[in-house]
Structures are given as C-alpha cells and as structure tokens.
A = this chain, B = another copy of it.
Amino acid sequence: MGTTDTGHQPDGAGEKQSAPRRRADAERNITAILDAALVCFTEQPQASMTAIARTAGVGRVTLYAHFPSREVLLEAVLDHTITLASAVIDTAAPNEGPAVDALSRLLHISWHVLDRHRRLFEIAQRELDPAVLRQHHDQAMSRVEQLLIRGQQEGAFRTDLPLNWLVTTVYSLLHAAAADVNTGHLKQNTAADVLEATLLPALRPPQATVRRRRRG
C-alpha cells in the first residue's frame, strides 16, 4: 500500500518505543517537519500544511503520513518545544541562589526560548482544544511561577499584586522585547539587559522604593 500511516508516535513526551520501529529516513523527516513547523508557525500563525511541508523539504503526503491533521501537528510541535525549552531553562538553575539573580540568569539565557514558546502557545490557544491546552499551559508557566513564588518568600518580589499578574507581566514584557528585536528596534545583545532593567523594578516590593529616611 502506498502511504505509511504507522500510528505516528513522533517522540511525544516520554519517547516510549512501543511497537512501530521506524526507518531511519522516516525519523529524519519527522524531526525535519517538526523543525519546519516550529519556524513556520512562529513566523506566521496561519501557515498552511503545504508551506510547512515545503519548508521541511518533504512532500505534502509524507507530512500527512506522520501527522494526520493540522491539529495533531500543532500539538506535537508544542510538546516538542516544551521539552526542548525545559532543558534550556534548567541550564539557568532557577531554583538556586537568590531569586533576583536566578531571574536574571533566566532572562539572559532563555528569553529567546521562552518567547518562542509563548508565540507557539498563542497559536495553540486559538486552534487547539482548551482542555488539552490547560496542561501545556501549566507546565510552561510553572517554571517562572515557582521562581516568582520563591522570590516572594525571600521578600525580593512584591506580594501586593496577584501572583498570576506577575507571571503575566514577565511573559508579556518578554514577548514585547522579542518582538522589538524582530523589528530591529532592539538589539539582540541588549535585549536581556533592557528586560531585566524593566522587570526588576516592576517586581520589587513597592516599599523598597518608598523607604526613604523620613527626615525634615
């Protein structure tokens, strides 16, 4: 029979090699598709399957052989990216040392990765099933969220605003910086510093600013 359709388990979460041992070129094409889809989706959300196949350098039929629908592909890309991003984020050792320093490391190392993830998530948000999104969302946000909680406990980050809002603030400015780099308004190498200079004052407890010697 012509096409493949071997059940397609493109290294989902825990790379369980259950049944269908794939051939080497199939494996190679899958990763090529995943990479191409990542690029295409982040560049423009409405990227067609045709465009993705072309970018990956494979036929459209091959694409459908591995990912039977756009929805499946998008979810696979999301999953794949989260896995890669997590590894990069962990490089910054977000759980060690003062929270402020950890945040600084996180920003410098992975602002680019985090933004890519954010953009992907935005697409998924309006194309994927909300139920499926929830778990992806939680897994994605948790890294930054935990860091912020730790900072609050240390007294380094403010507690007068909802935690959720602080997370949103971080991601929002992260995205803004990435977008400005894209349009050329901001330089690659200064982005992290600008981001840090903007975020830290916004996250600091408001008392830290007001605490001025109450003299005449």
A-side residues, CB < 8 A to B, are: 44, 46, 126, 160-162, 164-165, 168-169, 171-173, 175-177, 179-180, 185-186, 194, 197-199, 201-202, 204, 206, 208-209, 213
Chain B residues whose C-beta falls within 8 Å of the C-beta of A165 in the assembled complex? 177, 180, 185-186, 194, 198
Q: Is the interface of A mostly helix, strand, loop or mixed?
A: helix
Q: Which of these, B161, B177, B185, contacts A197 with CB under 8 Å?
A: B161
A213 to chain B: closest CB distance in Å? 7
Which B residues lie within 8 Å of A202 (CB)? 198-199, 201-202
Contact yes or no, B208 A209, CB < 8 A: yes
**Inter-chain contacts of A180 with B (CB < 8 A):** 164-165, 168
20 A-B pairs with CB atoms under 8 Å apart are A160-B197, A161-B194, A161-B197, A162-B185, A164-B180, A165-B177, A165-B180, A165-B185, A165-B194, A168-B180, A168-B185, A169-B198, A172-B173, A172-B175, A173-B173, A197-B206, A198-B202, A199-B202, A202-B202, A213-B213
